[in-house]
Chain A
Amino acid sequence: MTTSDPKESSSDPSEMEVVSTDPELRIGVFPCKCGKNIGAVVDVDELAEYSKTLPGVVFVQVNTYTCADPGQREIQEAITEHGLNRVVVVSCSPTMHEDTFRKTVREAGLNPYLCIMANVREHVSWVHQHDPAAATQKAKDLVAMSVAKAATLEAQPELDVPVTQAALVVGAGVAGMQAALDLADAGFKVNLVEKEPTIGGIMAILDKVFPQNDCSICILGPKMVDVAKHPNINLITLAEVETISGYVGNFAVRVKQRARYVDIDTCTSCGDCVEVCPVDVPSRTDQSLTWQKAIQIPFPQAVPSSYFIDPDACLGMDLIRCGKCIDRCEQKAIVPSDRDKYIDFEVGVIILATGFSPADPRKIPRLGWGRYPNVITTLEFERLINAAGPTEGSLVRPSDLVKPKSVAIAQCVGSRSKDTRMACSNFCCAESVKCALLVKEHYPDTEVTIYYQDLRMHGKYFEDQYLKAREEGVKFVRGRVGEIQQYPDTKNLRVSVEDTTHNKLLMIDYDLVILSMGAEGRSGNFPIPISCTEDSFYIESHPKLRPVDTSSAGVFICGGAESPKDIRDSVIQASAAAGRAAIILQKGRYPIEALSAKIMQDLCNRCGTCVSRCPYGAISQDGTGKFTVMGALCQACGTCAGDCPKDAIYMPNFTSQQIEAQIEIALREKPEDKIVAFACAFCSYRGSDLAGVSRMQYPTNARVIRAMCSGRYSPRFAQKAFELGAGAVLYSGCHLPADCHFQTGNHWMAKREPRIRGWMKRNNVSEDRFRIEWVSAGEGKKWQTIMSEMANVVEEHKTSLPAPKKATKKAKAKPKPKSKTMKAKPKSKTKPRPKSGTIKKSASKKKKASSKK
């Protein structure tokens, strides 16, 4: 017997019963009493008898506790003995035990996706305690619906894909470096791609870092060398990712590396070339506070330790235009013939650590940066006070190189403002307190005042740093700086700020003003579309439970690219991302969604609507114009199918045919009494279950149809339900805007409302009979309320209005005989071709199973 370890079973799909070649439908129905939970309200024996009458059902067995070992064994024995090829367990919620029973049937050699459940506990016995007769009737309907669905279920292969044992880390600031080192130390190959000529990011150009105020490059430098030396890290600088194709476990990456014009292996960083280069450009490292040459090294500790030539600044590496460095270089390291090149490789996982940009002070002109030389940003301050900076660590005013006797620091510049970004940038308060301490360190007599709105010393040890600053005599005034004006002769600055604590206007002169700059997002523009916030920071899969995952499987985010943060938090998050990525790499294989969508090419009219509905980018068009779904990316939400104008997308276990069959069964008797209620698996269905668990009572009108995501609810379903005379229809999904488990399914569902209501209006269906609701997994009460309210609407309409004008399709009393149902879907075109293994005849399987008895 195959073990229940999914890894093992999936690595050998040939053991799976893919589909019975026996044209006879052999459905087994297993009603459960669940002790007294179901049995006390629903007449389970009557239910069992009824089940026997349903088409395709060849075996019915009642159990008291079907989920327990004996119950499970009985199912397995029944499969073997009676050659069952479909199983319907009539018991609790699939949320509870769908996986349990799928495992059970898998162990018996039946494809797990041929087993479904009918929920007669959370949806019937627990919520209709006062009306056993109606409850039993409802249970019968639900069983009939499940049996009708079971008739057209198809076996789905459970596949997984191999995972390339390598990772891509984009961005080599402190976060990218940490992630790369963690993965490399864990034994995986890492391709670390960095846009700049050196790694290190912003941290490398800071002076001292809070809260211990240790020297930034001193602690970062050794890490940089580790990255350079690590045998598992392939460092590619001056490079950006150009294209990525593929999916988790199998990404094909193309990187474009710009020409460096200097050979990194030969260059010894001696600096002779700088002496002869005639071109001056504003220094990037020193924030344009000084000049550097066209041939340059960003800073002495750069990794790779090599110079590079800025091609836009360089006059020309030939004898007429210039070429002086070529002559001067004793190592002959200059390479005029260097070209941009493409580097291709494959990886299994991707970590994005592209960081943020310092906020642009030009967006806040009232503070005078750029017009007044003695107004500087925190980053400019870092360079001025840095021993490796333009003034060799001497803090002097840009206008006259004089030591400042009074310094003001203005907080919240570039953050918490509609003109820049509304959110706080996290690190600026601690950064400013640090700057204040550094000023005091250099010049104890210089007066330093921090003008703040809220002083957010939120991190570990931050409060100590603040207390130290107060001890050192740094002043703190609560008020956000309104404007800075410059005295024309002295270039001193006049800061206008209200001391809000004392309701007093202060207009104070300062020698130097430091603007505490926030962060500006620069995420996005990546070959794989990863959603970003409005202010350009990557969006995580779930803010609490999956803070470094993204909605693209195999792609992780960390550091400043995800949201502004300090070094410690960047490192923590980088290790988190590396850990998550390592799980995938380590397993070696990645399971792909078994129920992924399939486009039926004979029905598809190539309108391309589905492409935009998919939040995972799983649908694409190939060179011939054909649209296909990449199974490895598809998460089976069904939103594409919900909007497909031709109903050309096949959602295994949630096909249109299956759903419509359930609608038909639900409405075959007294449709005007019924509410056809659609509930999505992750939110609304769980909410409805919660109503059951909480024993909230409500009328018996609803017949719930489950889908994985509300995106699946096509307008056709509501239409069909009303055509068949439904009393009411409910479309229920996860709350807008951001609760949908599949990112955007609920949004697409909401967009269909006008179409549905338009149809209703044209067909004289009263608008209160259709509702779109947002029910979360915790909103059992809401579900109860909705059920009761809709039951009232149904009652009202029963007593007042006649039947809808459209001719009702005669609901079949019993579905047609088996052969027809079996042939429902043209299998040849839609059956997924299993990637490995073949379809085995059932006979051999049965033999195998029986031999184990």
Chain B
Amino acid sequence: MKYAFFPGCTMAYRLQFAEKSVRMVAPVFDIELVDLAFTCCPEPNAVRSMSDDTWLIFAARNIALAEAEGLDILTACAGCHESLSLAKYELDEKPDRREKANEILKGLGLEYKGTSTIIHMHQFLFDEVGIETITSKVVRPVPIKVVTHSGCHLLRPEKVLHVDNAEAPAKLDQLCESLGMESLEYMDKTMCCGAGVRKADSKTSYAVLREKMTSMAMVKPDAIVVFCPTCFISFESGQRMTNKNFGTDFKFPVFYYTELLAIAMDLPDTGLLLAEHRVKIDLPKSKETVEEAEVDSGDSITSSP
């Protein structure tokens, strides 16, 4: 299955290893990723706050690019996914906006037709591939306790995105469990991490993050699993600022889901990914891996602290 791959600015230029993990797992599920000359999705908060029609035209162009190649768009960032999906919704539901957008796109040699769908890696793995298939490909289960954070922009608005139940999401948890993890229920699971307000008022943003992490800490997870590079950075780096501002002591390791997927499927070079993490974790070997290690001294998946 060919997709126009949309990593998004954050993933491509700030969380490259996360992009790497997506490209690593893609061939296992028969995905061919095609790279097109996309711009920023554009970011659904900052850009849209300044100018709604600018947001729409950038998004329309991105979608039209993919349509021109006859491809659906595979997103890997929740922000991109929401931005493109909402833009598609606007263009499909409001013919006058669509007309206006197409007028501008015409000057760029493009047209928005509404023929491409936008699917996030989360949806692809859960809906298209399925838990059973994923479980069957797991060679090295990862027996850690995690809390999942699907992210605001993957879940809401539910009536447009249809990714998961916005108030009680369970799909990312199931995806983690299929890799051998124990996914813990915690308070404020659907709460925002505060990233959206970081530009306007960073202190407020870290205060929000503090609330979120306090609830996460209550259940003592080994790591946080996200499916969006912005959420990743918000948690991994943001927690340090939160500690600085509020005297807290959060030290959560964070994973982008496909990293763990790559590890669980024992793909080569996963060490490269983990090396990029700022908060390291020793991933314990599961019983099977211990046995395997005894039989043949296979490569360890622990990374150096």
Contacts and interface: CB of A to CB of B under 8 A. Distances in A.
Q: Do chains A and B touch in the complex (CB under 8 A)?
A: yes
A488 B189 CA distance: 12
A148 B123 CA distance: 74
A488 B186 contact: yes
Nearest to B184: A488
Interface string B136-173: 00000000000000000000000000000101100000
A365 interface: yes
A103 interface: no
A366 B165 CA distance: 10
A485 B188 contact: yes
A371 B187 contact: no
Contacts of A483: 167
B218 interface: yes
A296 to B, nearest CB: 33
Contacts of B127: none
Interface in A448-492: 483, 485-489
A488 B218 contact: yes
Interface residues of A, number: 10
A589 interface: no
Most interface-central of B165, B184, B186 (chain A CB within 10 A): B186
B219 A371 contact: no
B302 to A, nearest CB: 29
A494 interface: yes
Interface string B182-221: 0011111000000000000000000000000001001100
Contact of B219 (A366, A485, A488, A494): A488
A486 B184 CA distance: 13
A487 B187 contact: yes
Contacts of A487: 187, 218
Nearest to A486: B187
Contact of A485 (B165, B184, B187): B187
Contact of B167 (A366, A486, A494): A366
Given A488-B218, A488-B219, A371 B168 contact: yes
Given A488-B218, A488-B219, A365 B167 contact: yes
Most interface-central of B167, B184, B219 (chain A CB within 10 A): B167
Nearest to B187: A485
A365 B188 CA distance: 13
A629 B188 CA distance: 63
Interface residues of B, number: 11
Interface string A365-400: 110000100000000000000000000000000000
A494 B186 CA distance: 12
A483 B190 CA distance: 11
A365 B166 CA distance: 9
Given A488-B218, A488-B219, A365 B165 contact: yes
Nearest to A488: B219
Interface in A334-393: 365-366, 371
A371 B186 CA distance: 12
Contacts of B168: 365, 371
Contacts of A366: 167
B197 to A, nearest CB: 16
Interface in B66-85: none
A494 B165 contact: no
A644 B215 CA distance: 69
Interface string A554-581: 0000000000000000000000000000
A366 B187 CA distance: 12
Contacts of A489: 218
Contacts of B215: 485
B145 to A, nearest CB: 12
A488 B187 CA distance: 8
A366 B167 CA distance: 5
A186 B250 CA distance: 77
A371 B187 CA distance: 12
A483 B187 CA distance: 11
Nearest to B167: A365
Contacts of A371: 168
B167 A488 contact: no
Contacts of B185: 488
B266 to A, nearest CB: 33
A434 to B, nearest CB: 29
Contacts of A488: 184-187, 218-219
Contacts of B188: 485
A486 B186 CA distance: 8
Nearest to B186: A488
Contacts of B186: 488
Interface string B210-246: 0000010011000000000000000000000000000
A68 B185 CA distance: 86
A447 B295 CA distance: 63
B120 to A, nearest CB: 21
A485 B189 CA distance: 9
Nearest to A365: B167
Contacts of B187: 485-488, 494
Interface string A484-522: 011111000010000000000000000000000000000
Nearest to A370: B168
Contacts of B218: 487-489
A488 to B, nearest CB: 5
A366 B184 CA distance: 18
B186 to A, nearest CB: 7
A534 to B, nearest CB: 18
A488 B218 CA distance: 8
8 contacts: A365-B165, A371-B168, A483-B167, A485-B187, A486-B187, A488-B187, A488-B219, A494-B187
Please give me the 3 A-B residue pairs with the lowest Cβ-Cβ distance, nearest first: A365-B167, A485-B187, A366-B167
Given A365-B168, A488-B219, 4 more contacts: A485-B188, A488-B185, A488-B186, A489-B218
Interface of A: 365-366, 371, 483, 485-489, 494
